[in-house]
Structure 1
């Protein structure tokens, strides 16, 4: 299967694939961070927004929220979920906006879809240009030096379309700027089971390397990957929440 074809071909099942994600908790946490670290403004943009579940929560909280993604089928569903929002087909590494934002988010480790460190640097620069003074950039990331290739997360969902099992895990060879997100989906309907495998190329960075890319543009706070509490990152953590204030 071609790279990223799974998200295009199975866009109808994307929300099922993410059914174990607490979008409200993630959105609420970033709204608190905006109050604590940001400029308090309400203009919000979600990068790699998918079908718009985070955007929905920001809208409901009073934000002027919208999103961008490279996948039109995802945005078609986002527009149904959030008819009052503005969505655009744009690459998050080269996007532009006519009006600046107070808050830009990138959830679900999607910043790694930049694929190379050069494009990641372009993404960071694009975000910086699109933010108001004192604006906030929030995203989560994984440290390439802490990836355990043996670990996979799985969950099952029953829907009218069948019984699904979704599995995903990071894979890093130990060198270079590429890691992979490996995905497996099984769909069982009656006595027939279909299986999809996919591998998405992602940029591999350590937290130190990521901070070095961010610091010319932002005041950077690296927090525990915990949407319930605000804690500084522990020494052994492999996942983190980055809170970046525009300089």
Structure 2
């Protein structure tokens, strides 16, 4: 199965897979950070937007919001959810915005889909070019040196007669610039059980390395991975929210 085949084939199940994610809380937290650090503008672009749930909330906050993704079935769902928004099929490592942006976001650790340091650098450069003066780039990330390969998350969801079990977890070998996100989806009904497994190659980077890459283009602020409170990163936890103000 190809890198993105699971999402392509199961795009209709994506929202079910993410049913436990509090998109409103995430969007509201970044909106608050934009009010604190941003330039007061309301143009917004969401990288790796998927089916558009974050875009929906930013539109409701009053932004002129848009999104991009490499998966057309996802974008088709996003366009239905957010008919006011412009969605484009683009790779976030090398994209062009339709107009200069005040805020660019990348949720759900999707910054790691830049599956190597050079692609990550290209993504950061593309974001910098797409932002207005004083615009900000907000995303969350995981520190490669804090990954525990034994940990994973699991949840269940029902759709009609089907019971789904979703599992995901990070894996890092301990060296190099590649880590992976391992996913499995089990679909069970009275007639059968089906199982999909997939592994997504992603960039592995420490927070020190990531901050150094960003510093050439941005004033960087790092916060705890907490969407309820704005708390400076404690320099110890392995997940964080980055707020990057264009220089």
TM-score normalised by length of structure 2: 0.99
**SS of equivalent residue, structure 1 residue 78:** helix
Between 160-169 and 144-153, the greater mean CA deviation after superposition = 160-169
Cα distance in structure 2, aligned partners of 1:136 and 1:84: 23
Cα distance in structure 2, aligned partners of 1:235 and 1:67: 31
Between 230-239 and 166-175, the greater mean CA deviation after superposition = 230-239
Cα distance in structure 1, aligned partners of 2:134 and 2:12: 38
Counting only pairs closer than 5 Å after superposition, residues 82-121 of structure 1 correspond to structure 2 as 82-121=82-121
Cα distance in structure 2, aligned partners of 1:173 and 1:40: 42
Backbone CA RMSD of aligned residues: 0.7
Q: Quote the offset at 1:236 in angstroms.
A: 2.1
Q: Quote the offset at 1:158 in angstroms.
A: 0.8
Q: Which residue of 1 aligns with 2:138?
A: 138
Q: Quote the offset at 1:190 in angstroms.
A: 1.3
Counting only pairs closer than 5 Å after superposition, residues 51-200 of structure 1 correspond to structure 2 as 51-160=51-160, 162-200=162-200
Q: Quote the offset at 1:14 in angstroms.
A: 0.3
Q: Quote the offset at 1:3 in angstroms.
A: 1.4
Q: Which residue of 2 aligns with 1:235?
A: 235
Size of the aligned set, in residue pairs, is 247
Q: Which residue of 2 aligns with 1:203?
A: 203
**SS of equivalent residue, structure 1 residue 19:** coil
Q: Name the CA shift for 1:180/1:35 in 2 (closer, same or farther; >3 Å).
A: same
Cα distance in structure 2, aligned partners of 1:234 and 1:5: 37
The answer on 1:213 being equivalent to 2:208 is no
Cα distance in structure 2, aligned partners of 1:190 and 1:58: 40
Between 92-101 and 144-153, the greater mean CA deviation after superposition = 92-101
Q: Where does the alignment leave 5 or more consecutive residues of structure 1 unmatched?
A: none
Cα distance in structure 2, aligned partners of 1:167 and 1:122: 30
Q: Quote the offset at 1:40 in angstroms.
A: 1.5
**SS of equivalent residue, structure 2 residue 93:** coil
Q: Where does the alignment leave 5 or more consecutive residues of structure 2 unmatched?
A: none
Q: Quote the offset at 1:98 in angstroms.
A: 3.6
TM-score normalised by length of structure 1: 0.99
Q: Which residue of 1 aligns with 2:22?
A: 22
After the TM superposition, which segments of 4 or more aligned residues of structure 1 sit over 2 Å from their partners? none
Cα distance in structure 2, aligned partners of 1:97 and 1:107: 18
Cα distance in structure 2, aligned partners of 1:167 and 1:8: 18
Cα distance in structure 1, aligned partners of 2:177 and 2:150: 20
